[in-house]
Amino acid sequence: MAPIADHPLRYKLTNELHARPFPSLEEPCTAVFIAIKKPVNAVGRDRGEDLAHLCDLLDRHGGAHPQPGATHYSGQIGRHALKWEQHTEFVTYTVFTPGLSARPFDPAEFEVFPEDWLAQAPGVRVTSALIRVEERPEEEVIIRSLRDWFVPESLAVSEVLDGSAVVGTDFRINPSGHMRMGVFVTPGTGARRIGRIVQRLCEIETYKSMSMLGFSRVRSMTGPLGALESELTALMGEISRGDAPPEETLERLLQVSAELENMIAESAFRFGATGAYETIVHQRIEVMREERYDGRQIFSEFMMRRYDPAMRTVASTQKRLEDLSQRATRAGELLRTKVDVSRSAQNQALLESMDRRADLALRLQETVEGLSVVAISYYAVSLASYAVYPLAKSLGLSKGEVTAALVLPVVGLVWWMVRRIKQKMH
């Protein structure tokens, strides 16, 4: 008996769940991270360019190439371990190097990505970070390091994964152009757990930066959106007061509606992506299981104070745009109703005018018919008189008497014939 057939995508979809494992890291080590995105139409980009750029880097170090059409890659480039991932809008490169530099967050660490290779990237840098992973020292050393490395008012520090490590960053770009993140690992923490911590930090920074693109889009929309809102309010006033001809108001209203729909179409993907990225940021922070360290603000508090207001602005602008579009639609319906009522009144007046003209035409027709009877009767009496005149002498009647005798019968006959013809026509 033949076994049950598998869905053609069964193994592919199952393997996708395990396709991007966390790195396995031993402390001390350094992680260098960069995310690259096309400035425009990143979703519709040629993804082959991403792979070609990766292969260029691998060729420089004699590394093996990924499979054609790959969306992720892990391998060695010299003494470094490389992790590459392709996402919907961007690609990320993370390089892990054993050991630490003498100078914390030395810009030379980023030289693992050659300058000419970066210049040829099929996109621009969204974010980059230097992550220093070292063994957890005494508390005083950690506090002093955090004070020396980061800006105090922006510093976010937390103890994560049940005390496995202390992580800290100020989410600021240093003079060399990179974010800096410190990870102090508690002795005995497994390599996979260290890898998960570093991966989560990279994801938090990446998705935070990507979601802030939505905030930038919103800020650029503020002026045009305010102008459209004022124009729509003015049009609503004109509709209620009837200041302008309905056709002119409708034309302006259609223009406002078209601009709003265009803004919605252009920003729909960015709004949706921003919401998704925001959710990922909060999820990544949540799974870190933060605990307060040295009385400092934790990552979730930093996001609540600095990040969440920006995301609420994006959400409120999206709702405002949708509300304006609905207002424009309702205004158009009101205006069309008003125009329909006006046209109905005009049509009613036109019908009444047509009724009056029909009555006049009917009266005129009846008058013409009456005159026609008279005219026809006149000629008919004349003709009949000529026919009867020879008999008048034998009857001892004058012409006037014969004519007078013929008037009533002839007129009656003509009237009957005209009426009969009229009935047949109807």
* Domain edges within the chain: 19-205, 211-349, 357-425
CA pair distance 418, 182, nearest whole angstrom: 113
Token digits for 332? Answer: 């158009």
105 φ/ψ angles, rounded to the nearest 5 degrees: 60, 45
CA pair distance 226, 277, nearest whole angstrom: 27
Token digits for 237? Answer: 């006033």
Q: Do the Cβ atoms of 127 and 206 come closer than 8 Å?
A: yes
Residue 299 pLDDT: 97
Residue 328 pLDDT: 86
Residue 158 pLDDT: 97
Nearest C-alpha neighbor of 128 from the set 101, 169, 102, 94: 94
**What SS3 state is found at 105?**
coil
Q: Which residues in the chain come in under a pLDDT of 70?
A: 1-2, 16-20, 365-375, 377-381, 383-408, 410-411, 414-415, 418, 422, 424-426
Amino acid at 137: P
Q: What is the pTM of this model?
A: 0.78
Report the DSSP beta bridge partners of residue 30: 97, 132
Residue 369 pLDDT: 65
Residue 104 pLDDT: 94
Residues in the chain: 426
CA pair distance 182, 201, nearest whole angstrom: 10
Other CB atoms within a 10 A radius of the CB of residue 313 amount to 15
Residue 19 pLDDT: 65
Give the position of tokens 């108001």. 249
